[in-house]
Amino acid sequence: MEKVVSFLTALVMTISGFFFPQTGGEIYLLGESHSNATMTAKELELWGECYDQGMRDLFVEFPYYMGEYLNLWMDAPDDTILTQIFADISDTAGASQVVWDFFHTIKEQYPETVFHGTDVGHCYETMGARYLAYLEQTGQKDSEAYRITLENIEQGRSYYEDHDGDYAYREPLMAQNFQRAYDALPAGTSVMGIYGAEHTNPGELDPTGSAPNMASQLQEVYGDKLHSTDLTATVEETERAGETQTVTIGGQAYTAVLLAAYRRPATGEGVAYWQVPGAYDVAKGLPLSNIVYPLPNFPCETEQGQVYIVETTQSDGTVERNFCRTDGEIYYDMVCATGFIPEG
């Protein structure tokens, strides 16, 4: 079973904002890919900086009632509440070991953190209904928390049942929920927020292109108090094009030429694409690996009968180099480069 690999090829963007946390009513948004271990580690590092500066309020892309459950769990002696949360979200990207460990690190290292869930009411029939019952059982039926929970549940019901998961419906509600939670804090409170990157880049539309995203709407309200850093953004290292390195294929030395390179400044991850001229005749006789690379994902032109190297750099500096050749093979209706083992 071949492994079809796609890298950072289409994401040629710039960082939208810089992260220098200050107190005084500032809003710092981080855009992520959900359950990405490298980005989650960076988020914990940045929240640590904020926490050291006195921030305690962490806004998250969860429903209001999930944020409130997390706050209850922060004071709980065991993981009963967190386990129930993960059962509720079991079919989502958030139900991962990465996210579980993230919450535990927050609880252990930043115990005064207060979560603020500002998304529409996902899991409204399970988590939402259960939290509503909890408020009733604890005599809070007339509270603001009860009113917000009812509203959040209705947002979720309408999002899924009436609007078929439409971003144009969701984004304004995310902005409204954020504004409600932020404006309820004491004046001058600075906060950090973690959301999917499609929600956090000011000036951009939602993924469907039909409405301003959450950050764009918040920027209209908070202006230059809103700061956004896109942890998913990559930049092209154009100055590196044409670099060379010596590689060995089938026992022979060849000169590889760099075609394109990309880097994620926020995490240090990167990917580089090299071509090895004159190596195909030797490479075509070498054994295959179990990886194929869809040629449409390459950020540069490719030719049949050539050898390429896809070189990925992890956040810890580890470099992985994969060799492939263009044999004209087709996988899943895409022309692909076929991975091979250079040692033979």
CA 163 to chain centre: 25
- Cα dist from 103 to 97, 213, 255, whole Å: 10, 26, 47
Three-point CA angle 103, 115, 129, nearest 5°: 95
The DSSP secondary structure of 55-114, one letter per residue, reads --EEEEEEEHHHHHHHHHHHT-SSSHHHHHHHHHTTTSTT-SHHHHHHHHHHHHH-TT-E
Query: How far apart, in whole angstroms, are the C-alpha atoms of residue 257 and residue 275?
Result: 5
State the pLDDT at residue 37: 92
User: Which mean pLDDT values do the consecutive 10-residue runs of the chain (344 residues) have?
Assistant: 37 39 87 93 96 97 99 98 97 93 98 99 98 98 98 98 94 98 97 97 91 96 96 92 97 97 90 97 94 90 96 92 94 90 84
Q: Yes or no: say if 266 and 229 are a contact pair by the CB < 8 Å rule.
A: yes
> For residue 86, which of 108, 71, 69 has the smallest C-alpha distance?
69
Domain spans, the chain: 17-230, 236-340
State the pLDDT at residue 11: 30
Query: How far apart, in whole angstroms, are the C-alpha atoms of residue 288 and residue 277?
Result: 19
Query: How far apart, in whole angstroms, are the C-alpha atoms of residue 25 and residue 225?
Result: 7
Q: Note the pTM of the prediction, 2 decimals.
A: 0.77
Q: Strand 114-119 vs strand 57-63: parallel, antiparallel, or unpaired?
A: parallel
AA identity, residue 22:
Q
86-91 long-range contacts, CB within 8 A, separation 24+: 88/123, 88/126, 88/127, 89/122, 89/123, 89/127
Q: Residue 153 has which token pair?
A: 């549940």
Q: CATH class for domain 17-230?
A: alpha beta
State the pLDDT at residue 18: 45
Phi-psi region of 256 (alpha: psi -120 to 50; beta: other; left: phi over 0): beta
> For residue 120, which of 66, 45, 189, 68 has the smallest C-alpha distance?
66
Output Rg (C-alpha) for the chain, integer angstroms: 24
Alpha helices in 244-317 (DSSP H): 280-283
HEC states along 302-323? CCCCCEEEEEEECCCCCEEEEE
Q: Yes or no: say if 261 and 270 are a contact pair by the CB < 8 Å rule.
A: yes
